[in-house]
């Protein structure tokens, strides 16, 4: 076992807000989570610096260079590493620019829907009684809507565009936040410290945001990240159906849709944008999986117990003394 | 039970009313049917005539009342595309979608139970890692891409399955598998985690201590208790498939169900047909939701119907 200079006691470190080193170390030790995190950072950099990285303008067409295969195939050339599409556009550049649509839509929808859902859930849970009943009934009703079909109908009535898609996805995806937040608020309200805060005369706003909201950070963070993957997939699917990002803008889903008529002659057209979507969602899932286990006290306890059991089996001695680094 | 059913039916009616309101607002107030349904070259006079013919120049309140009245008799207007009542087309296409969902979800449900239970036997073991990673992987593949890849591999390269459309039983394989994969991933992960939780319960320790055989514990107790959350998720999968998540699969495989019809209706700006599809599905979802609630009660007597 390699000896590191900053050897934190394994899993015994209690992460407090503001102490990032133990958390970063834990992430470093979880291979899958670390890979996911690294890919996410790279994707964000790729989206932000797309004009600097991409070899070509993603919209520039060239009749001379149509349907060129990727560089490693017999007819390919290193001028177009991942080949070109039926209009002679560079696939690599389009894949790089495509990250922008996914991340932009994912972020704005999660922020919009999350803010509304959290406020809704906080208010319902805090007010309780009849108002809570009424508000949650509204949530139940909207959950029972035929979601995707309504989205299709609204978009076809209003006309597809990037902003329409963001608004519609936000309007149809806020309910889960409201439900989660309301559930937690109801249980936290019963705790003595919230009662005490109310007793000494804290205003409702202060109780809500200072005492109740901090309990929500960990579950909300995980929920937001998982919702982000759902939105990325939804954006891709809608752009694939022609109801999301509109040409000449680029999106991975749109590119798969453009390439689907050429699967007999040019497999690379659908392969690379589709692969980008999968890699993005998979990395976020891996990271979220790590985050959920790490920020949940119960999961930490289980993991700690498992670690101790392994140690005990290995040493044949009662566990208790901390393992030496 | 009777009071419960009444309350759920009332709530279902509220859902349908909500759908009505949203559809009305989206199509009549935010969108402009004349702009959507008439060609770009239509003159102002033609637009006005269209609006008059459809009653779109009357006050909104009057329009809404007619709209609700028509809906309550399942009259959604004639499809502009096929020139016949929209509801007829819906009933023609619905069986195709239901067959696809039934097959896909059936596959997901039957595979997820053994795979999830296998993973749960040794958390952290080889089978568990394969299942967890497979599950995360299955959740990360966009369905349309998965479908196209399978067409490319099985239909274009190996030439053993048809690319799309309907026909013999072989036409069902690729669309059903594509539809099943994400559901299978979610269900499998759920079975895994609930069986792990159940196997850590006190009653399992007691059963073991008194010498009960392990497979009786697993099949008779752990899996059975894990069935309640499993059915909740399976019901949700069914509803969300019905709610439009077959659109993508149907488009990729040219499967003539409701989803593909909805896409065709959008292409042809056929708002009436689209409206008919949305309402039929909304009513079906309401009914399925009520049936599911009753089913939970039958499976788990502890659940109180409220």
Does residue A233 have a pLDDT over 80? Answer: yes
Q: What percent of chain A has pLDDT over 90?
A: 26
Whether residue A319 is predicted with pLDDT greater than 50 in this model: the reply is no
Which of A148-157, B177-186, B281-290 tops mean pLDDT? Answer: B177-186
Q: Which of A297, A310, A187, A169 is nearest to A239 (CA)?
A: A169
**Chain B contact for A133 (CB, 8 A cutoff):** no
pLDDT range class, residue A229, cuts 50, 70, 90: very high
Give contacts of A153 with chain B, Cβ < 8 Å: 23, 26-27, 271, 274-275, 278
**For residues B4-14, average pLDDT:** 85
CATH placement of domain B95-256: 1.10.3720.10
The alpha carbon of residue B20 is apart from the nearest alpha carbon of chain A, in Å, by: 11
- pLDDT score for B304: 63
> pLDDT confidence of A12, banded at 50, 70, 90?
very low
DSSP-derived secondary structure letter, A54: -
List of chain B residues whose C-beta atoms are within 8 Å of the C-beta of residue A229: 139-140
- pLDDT-derived band at A13 (thresholds 50, 70, 90) equals very low
User: How confident is the model over B283-292, as a mean pLDDT?
Assistant: 88
Mean pLDDT of the B146-170 span: 81
Cβ-Cβ pairs closer than 8 A, A with B, add up to 142
- Does A230 lie at the interface with B, CB-CB under 8 angstroms? no
Q: Please name the residue ranges forming H helices in A146-212.
A: 147-158, 162-172, 175-189, 192-199, 204-206
pLDDT score recorded for residue A283: 93
User: Mean pLDDT score of chain A, rounded to an integer?
Assistant: 82
Interchain proximity B277–A229, CB inside 8 Å: no
Q: Worst-scoring range by mean pLDDT, A53-57, A136-140, B13-17, B250-254?
A: A53-57
Chain B nearest-CA residue for A286: B136
Dist. CA B160–CA A39, nearest whole Å? 37
Query: A185 vs chain B: nearest CA distance in angstroms?
Result: 22
Closest partner CB to B19 (pick from A145, A229, A286): A145
For A45-49, A135-139, B171-175, B293-297, which range has the lowest pLDDT when averaged over its residues?
Answer: B293-297
Q: What is the DSSP string of A264-299?
A: TT-THHHHHHHHHHHHHHHHHHHHHHHHHHHH-HHH
Which band of pLDDT confidence, cut at 50, 70 and 90, is reported for residue A316? Answer: low
Query: Are A240 and B274 within 8 A, CB to CB?
Result: no
Instruction: Please tell me the predicted confidence (pLDDT) of residue B100.
Output: 92
User: A7 pLDDT band (50/70/90 cuts)?
Assistant: very low
Residues of B whose CB is below 8 A from A142: 18
Which of A43, A40, A50, A84 lies closest to A65 in space, CA to CA? Answer: A84
Please count the other Cβ atoms lying within 10 Å of the Cβ belonging to residue A323. 13
Cβ neighbours of A285 in B, within 8 Å? 136, 139-140
Q: What is the mean pLDDT of residues B191-195?
A: 90
pLDDT tens digits, A75-117 = 767 777 777 877 778 888 888 998 999 999 999 999 999 999 9
Q: Is there a contact between B131 and B115 (Cβ–Cβ < 8 Å)?
A: yes
A78 and chain B: CB distance < 8 Å anywhere? no
**Which tens digits make up the pLDDT trace of B35-82?**
767 777 777 788 788 777 777 777 777 888 887 887 777 777 777 777
Confidence band for A269, pLDDT divided at 50, 70 and 90: confident
In 3D space, the residue among A156, A58, A155, A37 whose CA is nearest the CA of residue A100 turns out to be A58
Residue A211 has pLDDT above 80, yes or no: yes
- pLDDT-based confidence at A2, cuts 50/70/90? very low
Domain ranges across chain B? 2-71, 95-256
pLDDT in tens, A294-308: 877 777 777 777 778
For range B74-102, the mean pLDDT: 83
Residues 6+ apart with CB under 8 A from A117: A174, A175, A176, A177, A178, A181
Give the pLDDT confidence score for residue B102 in this predicted structure: 93
Decide if A313 touches B, using CB distance below 8 A.
no
Kindly report, residue by residue over B233-244, the tens digit of the pLDDT: 998 899 888 887
CB neighbours (10 Å) of residue A277?
A: 28
Tell me the average pLDDT of chain B. Answer: 84
- Confidence (pTM): 0.85
Assess A39–B contact: CB distance below 8 Å, yes or no: no
State how far the Cα of A254 lies from the Cα of A269, in Å rounded to an integer: 11
């Amino acid at each position: 076992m390699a000896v590191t200079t900053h050897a934190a006691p394994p899993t015994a470190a209690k992460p407090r807000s503001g102490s990032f080193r133990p958390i970063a170390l834990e992430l470093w030790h979880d291979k899958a989570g670390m890979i996911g995190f690294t890919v996410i950072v790279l994707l964000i950099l790729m989206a932000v610096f797309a004009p600097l990285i991409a070899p070509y303008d993603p919209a520039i067409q060239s009749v001379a260079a149509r349907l060129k295969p990727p560089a490693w195939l017999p007819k390919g050339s290193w001028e177009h590493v991942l080949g070109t599409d039926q209009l002679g556009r560079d696939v690599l550049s389009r894949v790089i620019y495509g990250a922008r649509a996914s991340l932009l839509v994912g972020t704005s929808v999660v922020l919009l829907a999350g803010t509304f859902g959290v406020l809704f859930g906080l208010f319902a849970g805090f007010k309780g009684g009849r108002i809570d009943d009424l508000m949650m009934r509204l949530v139940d009703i909207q959950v029972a809507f035929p979601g995707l079909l309504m989205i299709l109908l609204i978009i076809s009535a209003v006309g597809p565009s990037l902003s329409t898609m963001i608004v519609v996805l936000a309007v149809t995806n806020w309910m889960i936040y409201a439900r989660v937040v309301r559930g937690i608020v109801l249980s936290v309200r019963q705790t003595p410290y919230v009662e005490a805060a109310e007793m000494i005369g804290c205003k409702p706003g202060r109780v809500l945001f200072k005492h109740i909201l901090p309990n929500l950070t960990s579950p909300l963070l995980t929920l937001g990240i998982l919702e982000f993957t759902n939105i990325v997939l939804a954006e891709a699917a809608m752009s694939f159906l022609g109801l999301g990002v509109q040409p000449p803008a680029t999106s991975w889903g749109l590119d798969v849709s453009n390439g689907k008529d050429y699967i007999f002659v040019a497999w690379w057209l659908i392969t690379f944008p589709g692969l980008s979507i999968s890699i993005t969602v998979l990395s976020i899932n891996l990271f979220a999986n790590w985050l959920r286990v790490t920020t949940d006290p119960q999961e930490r306890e289980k993991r700690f117990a498992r670690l101790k059991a392994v140690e005990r089996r290995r040493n044949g001695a009662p566990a208790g003394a901390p393992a030496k680094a | 039970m009777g009071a419960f059913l009444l309350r759920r039916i009332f709530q279902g009616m509220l859902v349908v009313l909500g759908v009505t309101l949203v559809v009305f607002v989206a199509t009549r107030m935010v969108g402009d049917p004349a702009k959507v349904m008439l060609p770009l070259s239509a003159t102002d006079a033609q637009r006005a005539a269209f609006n008059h013919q459809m009653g779109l120049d009357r006050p909104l309140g009057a329009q809404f009342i007619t709209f609700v009245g028509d809906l309550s008799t399942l009259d959604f207007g004639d499809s502009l595309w096929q020139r016949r009542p929209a509801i007829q087309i819906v009933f023609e296409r619905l069986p195709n979608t239901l067959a696809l969902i039934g097959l896909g979800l059936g596959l997901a449900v039957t595979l997820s139970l053994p795979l999830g239970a296998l993973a749960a036997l040794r958390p952290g073991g080889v089978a568990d890692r394969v299942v967890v990673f497979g599950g995360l992987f299955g959740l990360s593949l966009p369905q349309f891409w998965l479908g196209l890849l399978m067409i490319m591999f099985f239909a274009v390269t190996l030439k053993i399955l048809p690319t799309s459309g309907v026909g013999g039983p072989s036409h069902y394989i690729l669309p059903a598998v594509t539809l099943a994969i994400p559901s299978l991933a979610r269900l499998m992960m759920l079975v895994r985690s609930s069986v792990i939780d159940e196997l850590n319960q006190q009653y399992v320790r007691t059963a073991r201590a008194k010498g009960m055989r392990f497979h009786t514990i697993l099949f008779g107790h752990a899996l059975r208790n894990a069935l309640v959350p499993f059915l909740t998720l399976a019901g949700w999968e069914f509803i969300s498939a019905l709610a439009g998540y077959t659109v993508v699969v149907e488009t990729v495989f040219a499967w003539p169900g409701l989803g593909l019809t909805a896409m065709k209706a959008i292409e042809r700006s056929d708002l009436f047909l689209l409206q008919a599809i949305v309402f039929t599905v909304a009513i079906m979802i309401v009914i399925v939701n009520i049936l599911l609630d009753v089913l939970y009660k039958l499976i788990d007597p502890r659940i109180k119907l409220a």
